Amino acid sequence: MKINILIIIICTISIGCKTTQEFDNILVKKAIENAELSHESFQRSMDFTRAWLQKTDSVSGLLPSNLNNRIDLWDPANAAADNYPFMVLTAYLLDSELLNGTLLEILNQEKSLTSRVGVLPDVYSFSKKDFNEYPINLGHVIFGASEYIKDGLIPLNELMGASPWQDRMMEMLDELFRHTDDFTELGKYFKRASSVEEINGEMLQILSRVYWMTGMEKYLNWAIKIADHYLLEMDFSQTDYLRLRDHGCEIIGGLSELFLTLHYINHPKVDAYRSPLYRLLDRILVYGRNTDGLFYNAINLKTQTPIDDRIADNWGYILNAYYTTWMVDQKVEYIQAVRKPFKALNLNYRNYNWEPGPQRGPLGSHDGYADAIESGINLLNRENDPYLRSWIDSEIKVMFGMQQPDGIVEGWHGDGNFARTAIMYGLWKTQGARLSPWKHSLRLGAVASEKESYFVLTAQTDWEGKLIFDPIRHKTILNLPVDYPRINQFPEWFTVDPVANYLIMASNSKLSGTYSGAKLLEGIPIKIKEGERFIISIQRKTPLIDKRGLTKTNN
């Protein structure tokens, strides 16, 4: 068996000290710059988390949906789906005591107080100490659960793996499974067809990923039942309202995820779905984009005209579907569609008002920036484009500037999306590596070239802990056959294979030797004094090969 060996060279440098180890000064400098950027990302996420935890209800301990007109309500579609999970994720990376204390208690309280249809939650009123709505609106309960799982718990699961939050995700999904017949009746609960499409799109994404994670056919069969309706029973060309912006775009992503899943298991449905899926994607390319390759908010496929010609902030969510479908058949028009907006973004969409509103300033809401920047980060992970990279680095500063001094951003559930995207950005700048325990006085940054990856750690105070590298999460957690781009995914950058061997050479002889990948995933023990700097150069001896047989470069 061929084993990949990575050489890790570690050197400790005190300020003003010389070293015999030669490093690429350009890469070291870039890693140091990235350390400041990652630190700001993580600190802002921590500030957001601590600020919002000051707003919990004094009796239930639950988070309000917003700090204005819904301050009395906890709801699964907003407080649970968009805000709370990214406090959990922040604490997972930065504060394990907070994670296993206050944030776990909120989960337990949510399960205890808000479960209404079996384990499915419903909107809870703090003042009533009871559910907000009587009688039960099953459609709203289904919607809340699908939002909570897909927007909140699935992203947590993809980064954390087995946890109480994974358990909550699975118990809600299995409860929803008992109500599959009710999914065919969703139209009676919602006036807008896009709401039904959102729920079904979310379920397609959830079911495709959980099918791979568990191997259970019941999830795949349910996804196929949903896709049959959209691809075999209805004609999208007769759709007079197709929402491409946030929420409506879920069905496009969901269909593409299932299509890729069916391809990799050689399921006969993949041939039945190909033509109608391509017909939908092709029509969106013709009638749903502006000249820069970005998508309108909504279009009428029947009249082949835009309904809302503002540009969708979640442009990358839709392009994920094109990239995923391209991974199946390599249809060149789809990869061209993915690459088309990159240069235009850098030239024409800086300081862009993605989500305008009467109460918002000239830059609009931070939430538009969060979705747009996430769009870019996820695609940059696959397409290392300099225009896209420059645009992301520029626009994250705009989003960061929207956070208030106390840590609150805008005071509604969308504040969680600020933290979500900040964490994505920070993990890019560390190449997925993290420190345990994290301290405000630490700085960790990373950068990759074609030949090697650099990790630089500096400390403003003495510190002892571990430098932990990222596992190949799409395999180890989800068991996916390939790492296709997914909405709200936390991309993988530099990853460690647990069965590979790694040779570590260090100025500290205690760190020198051969390590298993599993040992590196546990973390390299480091003890650093105030003012010291660790430089770690990782040289890849054998190129990583992705599932399409192409050499993969970490960005």
Token digits for 518?
Answer: 């599993």
* Nearest-angstrom CA–CA distance, 511 and 466: 12
At 153-204, the pLDDT tens digits run 999 999 999 999 999 999 999 999 999 999 988 989 988 778 899 999 999 9
pLDDT at 453: 86
Q: CA–CA separation, 410 vs 514, rounded Å? A: 49
Q: Which residue has the higher pLDDT, 374 or 6?
A: 374
Cα 122 to Cα 133: distance, rounded to the nearest angstrom: 9
State the average pLDDT over residues 328-339. Answer: 98
pLDDT for 23-52, tens place per residue?
A: 788 998 999 999 999 999 999 999 999 999
> Rounded mean pLDDT of 234-238?
91
Banded pLDDT at 501 (limits 50, 70, 90): confident
- Cα–Cα distance measured from residue 191 to residue 238, given in angstroms and rounded to the nearest whole number: 18
According to DSSP, the residues that pair with 333 across neighbouring strands are none
pLDDT tens, residue by residue, 79-91: 999 999 999 999 9
124-135 core/surface letters (b: 16 or more CB in 10 A; e: else): bbbeeeebbeee
Please give the C-alpha separations between residue 363 and each of 14, 156, 370, 374, 401, in angstroms, as whole numbers: 43, 29, 12, 17, 11
CA angle 156, 158, 162 (to 5 degrees): 75
Phi then psi for residue 421, to 5 deg, are -75, -35
Would strands 524-528 and 115-117 be described as parallel, antiparallel, or unpaired?
Answer: unpaired
From residue 494, alpha-carbon distances to 209, 385, 434, 447 in Å are 22, 18, 11, 10
List of residues 6+ apart from 277 with CB closer than 8 A: 231, 255, 256, 259, 325
Q: Which residue has the higher pLDDT, 256 or 537?
A: 256
Residues 144-155 have pLDDT tens digits of 999 999 999 999
Q: What is the pLDDT of residues 424-475, one digit of tens each?
A: 999 999 999 999 999 999 999 999 988 888 899 999 999 999 999 999 999 9
Q: Mean pLDDT in the chain?
A: 91
Q: Are 205 and 486 in contact (CB under 8 A)?
A: yes
Average pLDDT value for residue range 318-335: 98
